[in-house]
Amino acid sequence: MKLLVDFFPIVLFFVAYKMGDIYMATLAAIAGAVIQVAYTWIRTRKVETMHLISLVLIVVFGGATWFLRDPTFIKWKPTVLNWLFAAVFLGSQFVGRQPVIQRMLSAQIELPVEVWRRLNLAWITFFVLIGSVNLYVAFNFEESVWVNFKLFGMLGLTVLFVLLQSAYLSRHMPEPAPGEE
């Protein structure tokens, strides 16, 4: 269910684009982000920081796209979001006691400090690269290709990265004691 909530604005953007144009899709994404935050608040009485940041960015970049009738702004939104995440993850390498990824996952998994740092650096690299690839696709291909990439390409690359990360983590997992399996 969380995955559906997380991707709701993107899916709405994609569907609206297929039914209309980039401007209809942008309005749908703005509405989807508002619904996403409201739904999460009503269900849990808290909202994830990522959803709030995404809402602010979609309102700012989507609003600029819609009012100026220029899709350049909405095409920049995924890059800005990913680069912002990269900056936060990078900052956490130097500020605070733990990198962001360790703060997020340390309750589920125990790893050496150096592995957490490498994992955090891998996420920084991923966010920078996915933001860069978004710009490349957005400004070197047809708009419809970018829209498909935004949903399928970015999601696919994220899933692939998580799978690679899982394989890396499996090397650092402690072996279960005999009889614990």
pLDDT in tens, 17-74: 999 999 999 999 999 999 999 999 999 999 988 899 999 999 999 999 999 999 999 9
Mean pLDDT of 107-129: 92
Distance CA 93, CA 48 (A): 21
pTM value is 0.89
Q: What are phi and psi of 55, to 5 degrees?
A: -60, -50
Residue 107: pLDDT above 90? Answer: no
Q: What is the pLDDT of residues 163-174, one digit of tens each?
A: 999 888 888 776
Q: Which two tokens stand for residue 48?
A: 């994830």
Q: Which amino acid is at 124?
A: I
CA distances from 100 to 25, 40, 76, 86, 92 (A): 32, 22, 24, 10, 6
Q: Give CB contacts under 8 A, 24+ apart, made by 92-99.
A: 92/120, 93/117, 93/120, 93/121, 93/124
State the pLDDT at residue 176: 63
3-state secondary structure of 142: coil
Whole-number Å distance between alpha carbons of 60 and 163: 33
Quick: pLDDT tens for 85-105: 999 999 999 998 899 999 888
R_g (Cα) of the chain, nearest Å: 18
* Pairwise CA distance, residues 139 & 145, whole Å: 10
